[in-house]
Structure 1
Amino acid sequence: MSKIETDLLVIGAGSGGLSVAAGAVQMGAKVVLLEDHKMGGDCLNYGCVPSKALIAAGKQAHALRNGAKFGVADVTPKVDYAAAKDHVHKVIETIAPVDSVERFEGLGVHVIQERGRFVGANTVRAGDHEITARRVVIATGSAPFVPPIPGLDKVPYLTNESLWDLRDLPKHLLIVGGGPIGIEMAQAHLRLGSKVTVIEGMKAMGKDDPELAKIVLDRMREEGMVIEEDAMAEEITGKAGAITVKAKDGRVFKGTHLLMAVGRAANTGDLGLEEADIAFDRKGIKVDASMRTSNKRVYAIGDVAGQLQFTHVAGYHAGVVIRSILFGLPSKAKQGHIPWATYTDPELAQVGLTEAQAREKHGDGMEVARFEFHENDRAIAEGKTTGLIKVMVVKGRPVGASIVGASAGDLIGVWALAIANNLKMSQVAGMVAPYPTLGEVNKRAAGAYFSPRLFESAMVKRVVGLVQRFLP
């Protein structure tokens, strides 16, 4: 058994763990990184990267079917699902070197490809190594949650991890779960030629603003997707190529393939957390605002910390703990400025409070500024007029923004910046956006907040009248 002493031990080489390891070692700390599976974690290998690559393939097929409005004849695309998956894996392979063992060892990180388990407050055993560290960061992420539905263990099913090994296009894909993962994969497969039925126990896209979610779901239904809501799965039966999902209300859904997409569970198992006095529950490891666990030498970041489960959140958490661990500075994580997006077509993005949340918190003191995509010249030119932005404003400052429409995931960045820096609506309105771009949507939303104050104000009109009378 080799014994290693280090400044920092990072458990998990996903987005958060890699960010901590790279930042710490380049600033002079001795770093050991443990990973018992694939470098890059879920995002690179099973999540963000492959899903967006498959979505891109679906968009291409959809564009070929819908060119007539631009003067380009519609054609029926010949979809090679295996080739689309080759595209997915090529994208992963292109990005993988950035997250590789070789790169991190080149930076000076001691990478050990073994599973780590605590055997003491700040000591972890991994294979033939025993590592004692001044500080430990747990960044083990999350995995697909598979609910104990009767019969599920007897039928073949896919998750976001196993989906990427599938080479034949599903004839009829059943998806249990109408959240972001399920909805994104539903539209991608629909556009690639599968028949798709989404089975959701409550409301599809239920965590998003209902007005904006409806716009996305209406588009999907128009494209031919079947979305069944309030359909809690009670029993699953069948075999490969013939699977049946029965809902509690008696509805029955039949398909050839089944994708389980009901959520994710924090990877806390077999870490020996009890040995290190680290508190956790079914949501994940319990942390304070500085991402520190009940063991003051140990931090947890990203999905395993039981908070927002997004890659960019793990990266943000990495910055928070680096400041604390390396420089001893007080550093706290916040959530109010964290954006997220669902990469459907149209996209849906959110930062801060939704309209309902803002009304509940601020009551009549909250105003909503709205602007429709069909009034944006670039959206008109590109035939992307389905969309809406809502900005929730309190005392002249945005407290939340919701966007549905083309490039919503990019557009939300302006409002994330504004909320993070406590900017005023006047500062966003003062921005000059290039014409014609979708980016003007943000400026016009800010303008919509001020329009009633300027154009419907009797006081403003009186002042302007007086100025015009006496202006030389």
Structure 2
Amino acid sequence: MAGATTPSLPPKRPEIRGDTVHADLCILGAGSGGLSVAAGAVQMGASVVLIEKGEMGGDCLNTGCVPSKALIAAAHVAHTHRIGGRFGIHGAEPEIRFHEVHDHVHGVIGAIAPHDSVERFEGLGVMVIKAAGQFVDRETVEAGGRRIKARRFVVATGSRAAVPPIPGLAEAGYLTNETVFELKERPAHLIVIGGGPIGIEMAQSFRRLGSEVTVIEKFGILSRDEPEAVEVVRASLSGDGVRLVEGLGVSEVGRDDGAVTVTLDADSPFGRTLSGTHILVAAGRRPNIESLGLDKAGIAASPKGITVDARLITSNRKVFAIGDVAGGPQFTHIAGYHAGIVIRNALFGLPAKVDYRALPWVTYTDPELAHAGLTEAEARKAGHAVETLTWSFALNDRAQAERATEGLAKVVLGPKGKILGATIVGPRAGELIGTWALAISAGLKIGAIAGAVLPYPTLSEISKRAAGSYYTPKLFGTFTRRVVGLVQRILP
């Protein structure tokens, strides 16, 4: 969420002249990116108008990152009860009261919501307009019966679940991330259409909370990640009892006596027609651009989102676009990163540009799958001379102590040990990947990680061990043995 402290100096507030508001910055969308721009800009002395027609905090707080991770946490607790026997701690199958899980999820949202609230941002000096906003010309937005003229505009309206045009889907009814967290009763059998991060996270969570779960993915699950890492996650899902249908699409959906039926476009190991109680659509995202009046402002866009340059400036030079709506990587941390780029450009006139070379992302399955930089395939496609290093969690003492040895670290190197990318699949991989994201961003070579002194026993040692393996052939090779032998003969 947007981080900010109360400014010590009085804020500069927008000026109202009749029904027109004049400001330095007008932001459309109060999700993660929009809030970050608003909080930073107002504390740096800019007058800010923030327009939001829905809930403050946007998708991340209300229907995305926060509720999904709260649900995952509940699923983790249930799973921990079941696997206690491996530690000598035995107990009965956990009693899952799904309405209380629902209350936990919404309690987490409620705990964070005040940080993103209208009251907090108005206290910072931001003028918040709770209404839909749209451009009426190249330098004016209309919202809530007012016109807003600003030196610069920021479109941060985010994205929503994309719903594929499957015959019968609308009539049968379905869930998306916007509705699934409202469930107070556990689905008996959840069919998930889509095997990307959202679909896979929800599939594992609902399975561990007691639902039968089937995932249908037209291609392969988690297709953007390293195949070795995906295989670890796939094995974990299968071990949990999640049914995976990969390489097949959905040709039709129906409803019969309260059940939903999904017909595949070919036979699967589970048959051609699958029956469940609920369908969750997790088949990608669509940018929220339709009602913004972009054509009136001269802002170019495509079905992927608003077209921007490396400075996040649109075809209208007074307008920036950030986050999901800008058509790039769709992560909350990218929206926050974009906010910093916009502040440097709009407030200070600095030509800051986006750089995704060290972009990290995490899929919060168990085990977690985290990545930064280039995959091996991407590095080879880019023409790099590639070398890879791998290290297993089974060789990590802390992982052994916690009985969490499934997984590995994989590092992609260019010439002379330059770090191009890294993937970690294993316990708390999302916390471990930051080391590699920093190394790639700073242009470090593998020796920087190999030479680090890390506490023992920690999971973080897997990064050092993987890096150290780069030197193993030379360190324990014939040349080293000769050098040691020579030195030993010379030393007194």
TM bin (shorter chain): over 0.9
CA distance in 1, matches of 2:97, 2:209: 9
1:332 partner letter: K
Residue 40 of structure 1 contacts residue 96 of structure 1 at CA under 8 Å; is this kept in 2?
Answer: yes
1:389 aligns with 2:404: no
Tell me if the contact between 1:156 and 1:239 (Cα under 8 Å) persists in the aligned partners. Answer: no
Q: Does 1:442 align with 2:459?
A: no
Question: Which residue of structure 2 lines up, in the alignment, with residue 333 of structure 1?
Answer: 354
Unaligned runs of 5+ in 2: 1-17
Q: 425, 435, 454: which is aligned to 2:475?
A: 454
Q: 1:54: which partner in 2?
A: 71
Match of 2:232 among 201, 215, 221: 215
Q: Contact 1:156–1:240 at 8 Å: present in 2 too?
A: no
Q: Please, which runs of 5 or more residues in structure 1 have no aligned partner?
A: none
Q: Distance in 2 between matches of 1:334 and 1:240?
A: 52
The CA deviation string for residues 243-300 of structure 1, in whole angstroms up to 9 with x for no partner, is 0011111521110111011011011110000001000000000000000001100000
Deviation at 1:202, TM superposition (A): 1.1
Does residue 178 (structure 1) correspond to residue 195 (structure 2)? The answer is yes
Q: Which stretch shows the higher mean deviation, 130-139 or 347-356?
A: 347-356
TM-score, with normalisation over the residues of structure 1?
0.98
The correspondence for 1:291, drawn from 304, 312, 335, is 312
Q: What corresponds to 1:26 in structure 2? A: 43
Deviations 1:431-463 (Å, cap 9, x if unpaired)? 11111110111111111112112112x322222
Alignment of 1:38-49 (within 5 A): 38-49=55-66
Q: What secondary structure, in the 3-state scheme, does the structure 2 residue paired with 1:124 have?
A: strand
In the alignment, residue 406 of structure 1 is paired with which amino acid? P
Is residue 261 of structure 1 aligned with residue 274 of structure 2?
no
Instruction: Name the counterpart of 1:413.
Output: 434
Write the distance in 2 (CA, Å) between the matches of 1:466 and 1:122.
77
Letter in 2 for 1:115: A
Q: What is the alpha-carbon root mean square deviation over aligned residues?
A: 1.1
Instruction: Report the Cα distance in structure 1 between the residues aligned to 2:231 and 2:139, rounded to whole angstroms.
Output: 49
Residues of 1 paired with 2:445 and 2:488: CA distance?
30
Q: Segments of 4+ in structure 1 off by > 4 A?
A: none
State how far apart, in whole Å, the 2-side matches of 1:229 and 1:359 are: 26
Work out whether residues 376 and 386 of structure 2, in 8 Å CA contact, stay in contact via their aligned partners in 1.
no
Map residues 155-170 of structure 1 onto 2, 5 A cutoff: 155-170=172-187
What is the Cα deviation at residue 239 of structure 1? 5.2
The within-5 A match list for 1:57-68 is 57-68=74-85
**Residue type at the aligned position of 1:382:** E
Could you tell me whether the CA contact under 8 Å between 2:286 and 2:304 is conserved in 1? yes
Residue 15 of structure 1: CA displacement? Answer: 0.5
Contact map agreement 1:155 1:240 (CA 8 A) in 2: no
Q: Secondary structure, in 3 states, of the residue corresponding to 2:471?
A: helix
| The one of 246, 251, 255 aligned to 1:238 | 255
Cα distance in 1 for residues equivalent to 2:309 and 2:222: 29
**Inter-partner Cα distance in structure 1 for 2:116 and 2:68:** 18
Does 1:467 pair with 2:487? yes
Equivalent residue, structure 1, for 2:15: none
Corresponding letter in the other structure for 2:327? G
Look up the match of 2:387.
Answer: 367
Q: Deviations over 1:90-122 (max 9, x none)?
A: 000001111111111111111111111001112
Partner of 1:9: 26
Say which SS state the counterpart of residue 253 (structure 2) adopts: strand
CA distance, structure 1, for counterparts of residue 143 and residue 471 of structure 2: 60
1:305 is displaced (CA, Å) by 0.3
Give the one of 143, 154, 161 matched to 1:126.
143
Q: Distance in 2 between matches of 1:268 and 1:328?
A: 27
The counterpart of 2:123, out of the listed 106, 128, 141, is 106
- Give CA deviations for 1:55-114 in whole Å, capped at 9, x if unaligned: 111111111111111010142000001100100000000011111111111111111111
Superposed CA deviations along residues 302-359 of structure 1, whole A, max 9, x for unmatched, are 0000000000000001001110111101100011111000000001011111122223
For the 8 Å contact 2:217–2:245, the answer to whether it is kept is yes
Deviation at 1:210, TM superposition (A): 1.3
In structure 2, the partner of 1:199 is 216
TM-score by length of 2: 0.94
Deviation at 1:149, TM superposition (A): 0.6
Q: Does 1:309 pair with 2:360?
A: no
SS in 2 for 1:119: strand
- Partner of 2:382, secondary structure, is helix
Tell me, yes or no, if the aligned pair for 1:241 and 1:255 is still in contact at 8 Å: no
Q: Pick the aligned partner of 1:343 from 335, 359, 364.
A: 364
Q: Which range moves more in the overlay, 243-252 or 301-310?
A: 243-252
Measured in 1, the distance between the counterparts of 2:369 and 2:67 equals 19
Tell me, in whole angstroms, the C-alpha distance in 1 between the residues paired with 2:220 and 2:352.
37
CA distance in 2, matches of 1:357, 1:132: 44
Partner Cα distance (2:123, 2:476) in 1: 61
Tell me the distance in 1 between the aligned counterparts of 2:212 and 2:357. 38
The offset of 1:222, in angstroms, is 1.2
Q: Write the distance in 1 (CA, Å) between the matches of 2:57 and 2:181.
A: 16
Q: 1:225 to 1:391 in 2, by over 3 A?
A: same
